[in-house]
């Protein structure tokens, strides 16, 4: 919905609404097409009619109407935004490809994950489970710093995304 600077609904000028109401159906559709092509929105055009009509109806009328020469001046449409009168396009965003887990690291990650799964807080610090837990965390953090997504690390280690995310958040 277009709004003007006072945050009120934008509408066609009242003399244009009266003019549209006085036209026969075929001429009205042609006039609506000219208004739409000049920049008025379908919503504003539909709301300005008496009785108001939905955008879909106005769109149907506009698409089938003949493109006739308009003898009456068409009112200028409101600006598309409050800051500019012409919409601007931003530069297209380039997607970057994230690096994956190196194939040589995958077996080591799976092996460490299997051992680390049995680690408990009460485990002695020099137990194989504690060592595997520490090494897995260190490898995962190094991969993450290289830009490898958490999901790829989790998949390579054979654990859930949530488990790997929790490990990396420590």
| pLDDT for res 137 | 96
Q: State the alpha helices, DSSP H only, in the chain.
A: 14-22, 25-38, 42-48, 55-64, 106-116, 128-145, 150-157, 161-168
CB-based contact 117:123 (threshold 8 Å): no
Cis peptide before 51 (omega within 30 of 0): yes
pLDDT by residue, tens only, the chain of 170 residues: 555 455 567 788 888 888 888 988 888 899 999 998 888 889 999 998 888 999 999 999 999 988 888 888 888 887 765 554 555 566 677 777 788 999 999 999 999 999 999 999 999 999 999 999 999 999 999 999 999 999 999 999 999 999 999 999 98
CB-based contact 62:32 (threshold 8 Å): yes
| pLDDT for res 54 | 93
Whole-prediction pTM: 0.46
| pLDDT for res 81 | 59
CB-based contact 136:157 (threshold 8 Å): yes
Which residues, 6 or more positions from 144, have their beta carbon under 8 angstroms from its beta carbon? 150, 153, 168
| pLDDT for res 160 | 96
| pLDDT for res 7 | 53
3-state secondary structure of 99: coil
Taking CA atoms, 41 is separated from 66, 135, 160, in Å, by 18, 61, 49
Helix axes 150-157, 161-168, angle to 10 degrees: 120
CB-based contact 19:50 (threshold 8 Å): no
Q: Phi and psi dihedrals of 3, rounded to 5?
A: -125, 150
């Amino acid at each position: 919905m277009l709004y003007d600077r006072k945050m009120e609904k934008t509408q066609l000028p009242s003399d244009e609404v009266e003019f549209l109401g006085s036209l026969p159906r075929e001429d009205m559709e042609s006039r609506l097409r000219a208004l739409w092509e000049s920049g008025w929105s379908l919503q504003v055009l539909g709301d300005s009619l008496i009785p108001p009509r939905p955008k879909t109806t106005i769109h149907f009328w506009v698409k089938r109407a003949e493109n006739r020469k308009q003898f009456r001046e068409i009112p200028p449409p409101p600006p598309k935004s409050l800051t500019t009168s012409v919409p601007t396009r931003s530069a297209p965003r380039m997607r970057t490809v994230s690096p994956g887990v190196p194939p040589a690291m995958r077996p080591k990650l799976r092996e460490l994950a299997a051992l680390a799964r049995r680690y408990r807080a009460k485990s002695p610090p020099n137990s194989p489970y504690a060592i595997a837990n520490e090494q897995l965390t260190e490898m995962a953090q190094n991969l993450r710093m290289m830009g490898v997504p958490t999901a790829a690390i989790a998949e390579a280690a054979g654990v859930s995304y949530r488990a790997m995310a929790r490990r990396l958040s420590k």
